[in-house]
A and B are shown apart, each in its own frame.
Chain A
């Protein structure tokens, strides 16, 4: 057996990915002069950042071999929660928010490991509960703030830097980039990261080597919840919305970003660099088609087709495991 085959295949896949990205960008640049305009690049980066930030949490869980679809719910809930308590305890609200997120995440993890209920179901339930709580609180929030939108309060986290004229959306990008790099480092360079990969690859074997697999699993869900919490207070002000359809579609799109980039749903393979690429591809496709002035209607169809092409190029025959 060719010992180098995995590395070779990885290299080939990575090159195809980069090539595909380049082709995409070039195609859109040709198709529309507006594509490469600075303001548009900023737009791409913002969409990309939003998608990415939410996908980071799922990446951890998927790497460990499970599923988590409660991100959008936790994010929304924490966003509102922080908005509510910000005037009361100032920046301490951040800590509270993250704790709440981690709390829900841990709940996911505990139910998953102790009650042995499939992660998809547990997080589905959490998604419903958190979305419900969020809506419930939104009303209260509205009352307490006398009608001033909560979102306005959260601007603090996304400062505009007046001197450099950096728009708020760019700050979002910094957060996304920063988190991605941080998590990439953690996954590659720490014992924690290595063990998460091991658990995703073969939880049973890892257990035999004396590692507390359930402990790590709970941790990874908690981490996902905390990341969602951060996403919550970041993007809520930016997007100004928490509609049900938004939650509906975003949930699966983030998972798609993870899978598209090449992180296997079976766990143990892939990582944050892959999620970044997956999110990037989806955002570019979305933006590029819009900028091309494509008939709003044809937009959807073409987008779907391109996603298929991207998938064929990139995630073809990938190890899927749980879901084919």
Chain B
């Protein structure tokens, strides 16, 4: 079956409809995938792209519509069934099993046995073959938990393509859907994963869901944008190059708003850092009032360790760490008390997921919700409510219900809850470590706006990120780190004039 342009179609979905009660998740969506291509799928959280993928691999049954796989009707009963037909999905975070060995993990669900005994040697060998074939740098006997995140991700992809190698599948071709394959990975790791995807393209067709527009543009052949359950456009990147801004517009349905950030260096120094010759980094810098200073570095550059050291979760041997002239205390609790906060994109380590939004926001904002009664610190529910509502409104958390359990919120909204907490706390200095990882473009915009506003009112931020777009949008000063040292610092004037490409060149040159 061929499309109008003569390309062979691997998979087509037409008129897919899926409802959850009253909510229409997929509204007559269509999608097609060509052989040997990488199709990027983008869209806001809640736009329906995940649901669409689930329908494609049989994890959800559509209410209407049909799917064709290589010209033949395809309606998978479950993911296992879909897999035997050559289409599988690698879930966000890879769906890993940390305590298994690589070969055990790869074969989980289709273990090879001789009678009741596992044929370990056979599986081990085949896995080694697979690993070598795909040039993945680990051994079949390594434990999943010991691998680097990038390698883990690659192993999950390898697991998805196992059928292809072992010839178990009914067909030769293979389709792999990657759901946010590079979330939480550093940029070096991301390029490793994407390089592999390019290599494997010859044998596998990929559908990649991601929020990282720039990278997706680089690796995709075509891109489909899903918005409100509809396919609002498929762009062929070979015919015409697409910019992130254009994509942004398609995804959001409107233009991207400009964010105004103050670029002038402030005179008041709020933070002085001189941490020479620490184990993992050797830096010296200062932070001014109302400034947003950025740090860019790949894994091993020490940039994340710097963030942890600032909040107190990483011990520093000696050096100067002064806030407003006073030395900072050692523990996290002490630092927080002195006005430093820490926010990461990894909400598992910051959010009490079974709690309500209200209680998560009030966590650590004790002074705002307590009343003293005979030396006991009592929680005043009215004050707590007010605090929650105020900051929920500010950060535009949806749905606007303070009692909503955080687990039911989308990724972006979860991040907003953490941001709300810290905004309420109003620390003089907030350290942000990849705060918008895995967050959709709309939410990211809101984040940036909030940060810019907060900075304008005098709060200072240290932004550690691997998103150059983010860094150049927000920062008045950018430090590039490599091997634990600051190798280049770009001031605001320079940043304004440089485009993303230029910065990338500078980094490549390091």
Please list the residues of chain A having a beta carbon within 8 angstroms of any beta carbon in chain B. Answer: 1-7, 189-192, 194-195, 197-198, 200-202, 204-206, 208-211, 268-269
Contact = CB atoms under 8 A, between A and B. Distances in A.
Given A3-B138, A202-B96, A269-B99, 9 more contacts: A7-B143, A192-B116, A194-B104, A194-B118, A195-B108, A198-B97, A206-B108, A210-B83, A268-B98
Contact of B109 (A2, A5, A7, A211): A211
Nearest to B78: A210
Contacts of A209: 95, 108-109
Contacts of B96: 202, 205
Contacts of A208: 79, 91, 95
Contacts of B78: 210
Interface size class of B (residues with CB under 8 A): 20 to 34
B322 interface: no
Contacts of A200: 99
B116 A191 contact: yes
B117 interface: yes
11 contacts: A2-B146, A6-B146, A7-B146, A189-B118, A190-B116, A194-B108, A194-B111, A198-B108, A268-B97, A268-B98, A269-B99
A208 B78 CA distance: 10
A320 to B, nearest CB: 14
B100 interface: yes
A2 B139 CA distance: 13
A204 B95 contact: yes
B381 interface: no
A154 B475 CA distance: 80
B264 interface: no
A210 B59 CA distance: 11
Contacts of A3: 138-139, 142, 146-147
A1 B189 CA distance: 13
Interface string B98-120: 11100010001101010011101
B85 to A, nearest CB: 14
A268 B98 CA distance: 9
Nearest to B156: A205
A2 B116 CA distance: 34
B113 A201 contact: no
B195 to A, nearest CB: 20
Contacts of A205: 95-97
Given A189-B117, A191-B113, A5 B146 contact: yes
B99 A201 contact: yes
B191 interface: no
Nearest to A266: B99
A188 B145 CA distance: 19
Contacts of B100: 194, 197-198, 201, 268
Nearest to B120: A189
Contact of A190 (B97, B117, B146, B148): B117
Contacts of A269: 99
B80 interface: yes
Contacts of A198: 97, 100, 104, 108
Interface in B287-317: none
Nearest to A193: B118
Nearest to A200: B99
Nearest to A270: B99
B146 A1 contact: yes
B118 A210 contact: no
Nearest to B94: A205
B102 to A, nearest CB: 10
A191 B111 contact: yes
Which 10 pairs of residues, A with B, have the shortest CB-CB distance?
A209-B109, A268-B99, A201-B99, A210-B80, A205-B95, A6-B143, A202-B97, A191-B111, A6-B146, A201-B97
A190 B120 CA distance: 10
Contacts of B97: 198, 201-202, 205-206, 268
Contacts of B111: 191, 194
Contacts of B83: 210
Interface string B124-163: 0000000000000011001101111000000000000000
